[in-house]
Structure 1
Amino acid sequence: MEYRNNVTEFILLGLSQTAEVEAVCFSVFLVCYIAILVGNLLIMISVTCSQLIHQPMYFFLSYLSLSDLCYTSTVTPKLIVDLLATRKSISYNGCMTQLFTMHFFGGIEVFILTGMAYDRYVAICKPLHYTVIMNKQRCDAMIAASCAGGFLHSFGQFLLAILLPYCGPNEIDHYFCDVYPLLKLACTDTSRIGFLVIANSGVMGMVTLVVLLISYGVILYTVRRYPVENRRKALSTCSSHITVVVLFFAPLLFVYIRPATTFPEDKVFALFYTIIAPMLNPLIYTLRNMEMKNAIKTLWCRITGCQ
């Protein structure tokens, strides 16, 4: 039996149906989004306007902040507006655009985090060859590969979703358009499509996870022979990255690396990788990093004219 797509918009059920809860969420997420904008822009400008841009770790960090900014902006502004709206709707085209851009920038972020793990591996395990291996051409190529990988992942998810027929109902039990909630609305058998969605996310998730685990496994094996002080210094350069990876990857893997189904808890886990992680990343990378603090201080002095 053939189905036609006669849905022109979707209704987003959001985080809550209670007005009081939505009012509180509006205030909290508005503050979070402002913090995301300020924090990530500050890192991008501070790194770009200083000598840190020539160091691979900070070069990747500036692009990570850019991807954070773009990634959260595909979801958070719409969520904030909807928290005050009586009717939370998104057009069919808007929904598919949101799905594509979210997975595109999310994919880029996953690959950049993986590239940063490789950078730390080279810095600690092959320090004498670091400047040769992590040269500008290789760093540029890794960013280009991250963008290409993000596009391929996103295009696969987008293609699978847009080929499905939607003939009602049109209520999405989420605060943004994503593949799994859309599969529930399709008026056809989605078991094969669901498998392809899992394969798409699973391949990317598992490959990057394996690379991360191997990188840090080799790092830990290498530093065990270092004197205590050198070991502590080496591991401190990795601690920020590990924290960011756990904050971003753990909820992401829970949502996407499993059978194609949805749970009420998915919305809570989604908050971690769409809002909380992009907000905390600038803090994590600056609080214990003297070079970043100095770069921000120098930028502030340039703006204010202080000595």
Structure 2
Amino acid sequence: MRIIFMGTPDFAVPALEALHAAGHEIVCAYTQPPRPAGRGKKLQPSPVQAAAERLGIEVRHPVSLKNTEEQERFAALEANVAVVAAYGLILPQAILDAPKHGCLNIHASILPRWRGAAPIHRAVMAGDDVTGITIMQMEAGLDTGPMLAKATTPVDRKTTGELTAELAELGARLMLETLGKLNGVRAESQDDAQASYAPKIDKAEARIDWSKPAEEIERLARGLAPFPGAWFELEGTNGLERVKLLRAELAAGSGAPGEVLDEDFSIACGSGAIRPLRLQRAGKPAMDRAEFLRGRPLTKGTILP
């Protein structure tokens, strides 16, 4: 098939590579423009741009697809289908209609649950037992289009980062299967009454509130790992220091919210307690609890802000 690929982050790369390896003709890859990154703030191409260039695929990164000129350039590619995976731009109706089979999206949830920008984060933070991939025919609404295929995976104790990598591979396989039987796929409408939404993570959500239940804080840590990272503060030599909590486990004990209960860094919550497993100090690499405590021992009875 003649395919236009539209994606930006690492999540989209396995699908691009799988489509190319399967022999489909990727006529162009659309992605977000290069962004400043690193200490030097040099422009860095997106992961999809880097992968596409490595595969010899033409890359386009328009700032918008709303103008007529860009829409005509898109239509001129005469694609059978556009495959979309975390692209990051709204697709106008003219773009949705241009390919023969329209635009198919790899969405990282079991629709209609978790429509929106952060479905993996929200599934973990909500304590969902299962998540997965939905291949969806795109339309003007926010992730409201007919569903062509689904695949599931257990959440278990995975972080958002771990689930993202797993779902990226699952989405690539499911898209290949869907394209292989596209003419015979029976679309299933979504039940809007069952829909839930996954808004983009707000910075304020990342700060840990120790008055919350331990189970909720443990899920928050996994749900925001590795980025943006749930965080708390510790008193340091130069004032309060921000520390990211990347993984934790439930622990025994109780006390005032934020109270350090023992030398092993168990922390009392609104109900129950947690014990950090992996942490990251500002400007430092992530480390396990034992390594963290060697460099920053904590006294029983310390109250975290």
Same fold (TM over 0.5): no
* Larger relative contact order (CA 8 Å, sep ≥ 6): 1
- TM (norm. structure 1) is 0.25
Q: Larger Cα Rg: Structure 1 or Structure 2?
A: 2
Say which structure is richer in helix. Answer: 1
Say which structure is richer in strand. Answer: 2
